């Protein structure tokens, strides 16, 4: 079948933005100001590797500076281009506004296939890219704070943080120049799992509202729901693991770029991940049937589809064959504007990217605060909290003459450490933001989907901020 032409990722994001903003009574000049990307910096730099000079092209795009620093990941992929980083930077603006992370939106990318390079080569390339960005304040604790994205992780963030620190030896806050760092390099507990954990909290919150579950043609709780996950990278892996290990979901299909796994009884996600780490592809995995990468597993019958890989995977060419009544966009922009329209008409409920994958930037916010305050969360309070709980329990046992159960005592006496506080803050954020979206979805007659609702909530916040401070 011939592939249908679609607008670019940035155009697709703009179409969805325009659909939403038409419902708001904002001055056209302000709308334009919010929509456009403020600046995109392109850099080409050479690194001497394997006896040759290799030239790399990278970008850092700043969409909106209504709040600073601006925030957003750095992606390593061959497909990186200006259009893509601009679309992703715009999504960061709306995402941060929606979950009240006090940042503007930004995004970066480097055209590179990280699999082609050895670790020491990647380090040199990353440090050089970081140098180019840092010298223009496109990496800076109070101006622009990158984070991991597709193809990057805590290793790259540690190199970036170190590169910035070497260039700014007197900056006491230098660690706050990037988030998603390893714990030993100023990171925070729970950042690696954060986006996947956020997807789990988002689905849990969705299923707390029977009216919303019914709108998707589903019923009951997450328990027993059949899930398809596209992409078992950091986000897809954690989301699939948590949903199957703690919420009773059955992951019946996993799609990777080089093969798919199907198992109606539920795939053991940890086993599959270990297999992928050891062998690089699903081939030979015994916990399900293996299919080629182009098998139509995305179109399989299931309850929930979790696209967790890249933009545009659900598009005009496959949208009408997608059968899942509920899609949660763990990736950025996995559903094109055209596909979004087709799916909405079919009655499919889409939990939009700017909300669904906001767990990453939410915990990045906590990490940035931790770096600026130079102290780990919970360090001052934990033992004092435990002590007060101990006092209460001892007194209760004396007054009642009864012993409380050991299990209760253990749970009650345990003061929260950093990971528990991070999860608590993340859950609160995901629950609150969902409630803001659904209020608009249900209260406004002209809003028929969660994406439009999400845009309305966040555009209003960005507009308020511009109004308050002037342009």
Residues with a catalytic annotation lie at: 107
CA 438 to chain centre: 20
Least distance from ligand GLU to the Cβ atom of residue 278, Å: 27
Site residues (vs ligand GLU, CB under 6 A): 71-73, 147, 149, 179, 332, 357, 360-361, 364
User: Which H/E stretch holds residue 62?
Assistant: strand 52-64
Q: Positive or negative, the Cα torsion across 446, 447, 448, 452?
A: positive
Least distance from ligand GLU to the Cβ atom of residue 95, Å: 6
Three-state secondary structure of 352-371: CHHHHCCHHHHHHHHHHHHH
Which residue's Cβ lies closest to ligand GLU?
73
| Separation in Å, CA 64 to CA 360, 396, 471 | 19, 55, 11
d(CA 396, CA 227) in angstroms, rounded, equals 46
* Side-chain half-sphere CA neighbours of 286 within 13 A: 0
Q: In what order do the strands lie in the sheet with 259-262?
A: 289-291, 259-262, 250-256, 226-230, 304-307, 326-328, 349-351
Least distance from ligand GLU to the Cβ atom of residue 150, Å: 8
Least distance from ligand GLU to the Cβ atom of residue 364, Å: 3
Beta carbon nearer to ligand GLU, 337 or 364: 364
Closest Cα to residue 125, out of 67, 76, 170?
Answer: 76
Beta-strand relationship, 259-262 and 289-291:
antiparallel
Least distance from ligand GLU to the Cβ atom of residue 361, Å: 4
d(CA 67, CA 71) in angstroms, rounded, equals 10
Least distance from ligand GLU to the Cβ atom of residue 297, Å: 25
Beta carbon nearer to ligand GLU, 41 or 54: 41
d(CA 76, CA 110) in angstroms, rounded, equals 5
Beta-carbon contacts of 163 under 8 Å, excluding residues fewer than 6 positions away, are 126, 127, 130, 131, 134
Beta carbon nearer to ligand GLU, 78 or 380: 78
Beta carbon nearer to ligand GLU, 290 or 372: 372
**Exposure class string for 103-126: b at 16+ Cβ within 10 A, else e:** bbbbbbbbbbebeebeeeebbebb
Beta carbon nearer to ligand GLU, 72 or 325: 72
Beta carbon nearer to ligand GLU, 145 or 252: 145
Closest Cα to residue 269, out of 306, 296, 295?
Answer: 306
Residue with tokens 């006090």: 102
455 and 59 Cβ atoms separated by less than 8 Å? no
Least distance from ligand GLU to the Cβ atom of residue 145, Å: 7
Beta carbon nearer to ligand GLU, 186 or 360: 360
Least distance from ligand GLU to the Cβ atom of residue 178, Å: 9
Closest Cα to residue 95, out of 469, 434, 358, 370?
Answer: 358
Sequence length of the chain is 471
Beta carbon nearer to ligand GLU, 118 or 137: 137
d(CA 73, CA 203) in angstroms, rounded, equals 24
């Amino acid at each position: 079948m011939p592939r249908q032409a679609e607008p670019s990722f940035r155009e697709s994001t703009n179409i969805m933005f325009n659909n939403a903003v038409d419902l708001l009574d904002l001055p056209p000049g302000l709308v334009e100001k919010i929509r456009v990307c403020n600046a995109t910096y392109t850099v080409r730099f050479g690194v001497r590797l394997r006896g040759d000079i290799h030239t790399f092209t990278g970008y850092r795009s700043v969409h909106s500076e209504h709040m600073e620093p601006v925030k957003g990941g750095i992606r390593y992929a061959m497909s990186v281009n200006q259009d893509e980083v601009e679309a992703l930077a715009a999504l960061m603006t709306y995402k941060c506004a929606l979950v009240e992370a006090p940042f503007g939106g930004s995004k970066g990318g480097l055209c590179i296939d990280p699999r082609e390079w050895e670790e020491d080569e990647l380090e040199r390339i990353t440090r050089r890219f970081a140098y180019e960005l840092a010298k223009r304040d496109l990496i800076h604790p109070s101006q622009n704070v990158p984070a991991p994205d597709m193809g990057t992780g805590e290793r790259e963030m540690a190199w970036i943080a170190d590169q910035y620190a070497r260039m700014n030896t007197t900056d006491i806050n230098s660690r706050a120049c990037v988030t998603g760092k390893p714990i030993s390099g100023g990171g925070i507990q729970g950042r690696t799992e954060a986006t996947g954990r956020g997807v789990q909290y988002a689905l849990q919150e969705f299923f707390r509202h029977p009216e919303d579950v019914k709108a998707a043609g589903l019923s009951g709780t997450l328990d027993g729901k059949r899930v398809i996950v596209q992409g078992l990278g950091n986000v897809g892996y954690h989301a699939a693991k948590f949903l199957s290990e703690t919420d009773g979901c059955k992951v019946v299909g996993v799609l990777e770029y080089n093969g798919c796994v199907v198992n109606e009884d539920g795939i053991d996600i940890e086993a599959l991940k270990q297999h992928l780490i050891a062998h690089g592809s699903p081939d030979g995995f015994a916990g399900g049937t293996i299919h080629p990468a182009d098998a139509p597993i995305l179109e399989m019958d299931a309850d929930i589809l979790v696209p967790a890989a890249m933009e545009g995977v659900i598009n005009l060419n496959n949208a009408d064959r997608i059968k899942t009544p509920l899609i949660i966009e763990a990736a950025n922009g996995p559903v094109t504007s055209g596909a979004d329209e087709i799916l909405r008409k079919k009655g499919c409920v889409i939990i939009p990217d700017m909300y669904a994958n906001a767990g990453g930037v939410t915990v990045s916010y906590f990490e940035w605060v931790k770096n600026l305050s130079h102290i780990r969360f919970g360090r001052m309070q934990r033992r004092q909290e435990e002590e007060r709980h101990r006092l209460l329990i001892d007194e209760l046992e004396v007054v009642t003459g009864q012993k409380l159960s050991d299990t209760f005592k253990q749970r009650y006496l345990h003061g929260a450490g950093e990971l528990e506080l991070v999860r608590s803050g993340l859950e609160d954020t995901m629950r609150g933001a969902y409630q803001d979206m659904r209020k608009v979805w249900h209260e406004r007659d002209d809003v028929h989907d969660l994406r439009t609702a999400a845009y309305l909530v966040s555009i209003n916040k960005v507009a308020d901020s511009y109004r308050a401070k002037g342009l």
